[in-house]
Amino acid sequence: MNNNQKTYVFDLDNTLCRTEESNYFDSVPYMDRIEKVNQLHDAGHIIIVETARGCVSGKKWFVQTMEQLRRWGLQFDTLRAGVKFSADYYIDDKGINSEDFFNDTRSLNSESGSGVQTNVVVVNRVLKEATEERVDKLADEIRFIENMPRQFKGRFPEIIFSKIDNDKAFYEMKHHNLPTIRRLILSGEMDAEEVVSWSDKITEFSMSMYRHEKVDVATDAFFDALHWNRFSTRLAELEKKSEWFKDTLQQETVTINGEGYTNITFLIDKIKAKQDWFKPEFIGRWSHSDLHFSNILIDRAENDFVLIDPRGYDFCEYYYDYGKLWHSVNGKYELITTNMFDISKPSEPHTFSLHEGPAWRVLEDSKAGILESLCKHSSEPRDTVILKTEFNDVMHFATLLPFMLDFNHTEERARGAYYQSVMLMNNFCKKHGVI
């Protein structure tokens, strides 16, 4: 044990990031401060991030906050809301002045704080919770992890404690201080060759889960629940939340970057009519079902990985996860979720373009290798693998839109995802003869 190990508690908003008027979706990280915190963590100190988000309003911000911290590359041991810890140092914008701390390089090497000795408790856990409409989803996730076959559990977070009520569900899990594939790509630390290599390992493991226990489910009922009902439900939710989307989704054609496209709401029935084309090879009991790069933690030192945030479905097919991997590299999902694009204002003609920087290049250069990996692990013909993977890709994009709303009066992420969805679906339909 490091005898000089200290516990640092950092406030989040206006300490590690700039946040105005509780607009948490628009928080801008202080990357220089995050770098210093990461230095402390690398030196063996305990890092706790503390936030009061939602303590007054009652709204739960845990999932969004975890996603932000992972995206920013912050290394920490615990994230807590409204809980005070024993610590050697508290740094925030109202107590111990954060400006003084981060501007004083000596603070990184200090042996003691105020001179008061504290009992340092090393906490390496993360609390994940959900209320209201998200309770069922988290409950499914808990049951999935707790009940999965033993040989697969080591690839998922260990649940230390869990509780499910009618209006609330939560569980404590071991915190893995590991980067996601997305973070490594966006930071320039992972090239295309490594992306393909890890994707192959993960696909191989995932296929062992899918094949472990097959279930007899009617294909029509499966598609109704997983694809068609999900599409109609998600878009209805989107129209309810956004006037811009309510108006736009009613238009039969949409012009993006000067080119006309059939709207997704008018294409979906044509795709549905070809349902037999996309019939799964088989349906399995065990599937992550949200296998994009943000949910894959990489341990380079141990040549290992951890899969987080599984959907917890009772059953699924492997092409569903194939589509998740494919929409990371083909649809550039990772760039859209991090606002790495240019877009017109809501009142202007529709224009949209991704930032074709280093991260875009890595994703683009990964496509061929990942596609070969997907084909290798499937027993179906190559053309079939491509067709079913791309079908799931376009369905994923079309149904993620409500979760991309940032309510910043411009809805940029959701609109960017929508434009990408329109173009992907049109290209898919033309390529495979749907229209």
Give the residue from 117, 152, 174 where a domain finishes: 174
Q: Does residue 34 sit within a domain? A: yes
Q: What pLDDT, on the 0 to 100 scale, is given for residue 150?
A: 95
Among 33-37, 123-127, 306-310, 384-388, which is the least confidently predicted range? 123-127
pLDDT of residue 91: 77
Q: Is 89 inside any structural domain?
A: yes
- Asked if the model's pLDDT at residue 207 lies above 50, the reply is yes
Is residue 280 within 8 Å of 316, Cβ to Cβ? Answer: no
Residue 57 lies in a domain: yes
Same domain as 377, residue 251: yes
Within this chain, do residues 222 and 85 fall inside the same structural domain, yes or no? no
Distance (Å, whole) CA 433 – CA 435: 5
* 165-169, 193-197, 201-205: the lowest-pLDDT one: 165-169
Residue 153: HSE in the Cβ half-sphere, 13 Å Cα cutoff: 14
- Is there a domain that residue 1 lies in? no
**Are residues 422 and 379 part of one domain?**
yes
The reply to whether 269 and 366 lie within a common domain is yes
Domain encompassing residue 164: 7-174
Is there a domain that residue 2 lies in? no
Select from 140, 174, 208 the last residue of a domain.
Answer: 174
Average pLDDT of the residues of the chain: 86
* Residue 228 domain flag: yes
Whether the per-residue pLDDT at 40 is higher than 50: the answer is yes
At 144 the pLDDT is: 95
Question: What is d(CA 358, CA 324) in angstroms, rounded to the nearest whole number?
Answer: 21
Number of domains in the chain: 2
338 & 426 share domain:
yes
pLDDT exceeding 90 applies to what percent of the chain? Answer: 58
> Do 185 and 168 have their domain in common?
no
**CB neighbour burial string for 190-215, b if at least 16 within 10 angstroms, e if fewer:** bbbebbbebbbbbbeebbebbeeeee
Is residue 339 predicted with pLDDT exceeding 70? yes
Asked if residue 375 belongs to a domain, the reply is yes
- Looking at residues 298-318, what average pLDDT do you find? 95
CATH number for the domain spanning 412: value is 3.90.1200
pTM: 0.74
Q: Is the domain of 359 the same as that of 256? A: yes
Last residue of a domain, one of 159, 174, 189: 174
Pair (78, 148) in one structural domain: yes
Assigned domain for 152 exists: yes
- CA pair distance 343, 404, nearest whole angstrom: 15
- Give yes or no: residues 188 and 152 share one domain: no
Same domain, yes or no: 282 and 265: yes
Same structural domain, 218 and 123? no
The label of the residue with tokens 């991997």 reads 325
Q: In this predicted model, what pLDDT tens digit does every residue of 221-276 receive, in sequence order?
A: 999 999 999 999 999 999 998 999 999 999 999 999 999 999 999 999 999 999 99
Q: What are the backbone dihedrals phi and psi of residue 346, each rounded to the nearest 5 degrees, phi first?
A: -55, -30
Let me know: does 59 contact 134? Beta carbons within 8 Å.
Answer: no
Q: Are 162 and 195 in a shared domain?
A: no
pLDDT of residue 139: 92
pLDDT digits (tens, 9 = 90+) for 93-133: 544 445 556 665 444 443 333 222 222 333 456 667 777 77
Q: Regarding predicted confidence, which is higher, 61 or 136?
A: 136
pLDDT tens-digit series, residues 375-432: 999 999 999 999 999 999 999 999 999 988 865 567 899 999 999 999 999 999 999 9
CATH number at residue 154: 3.40.50.1000
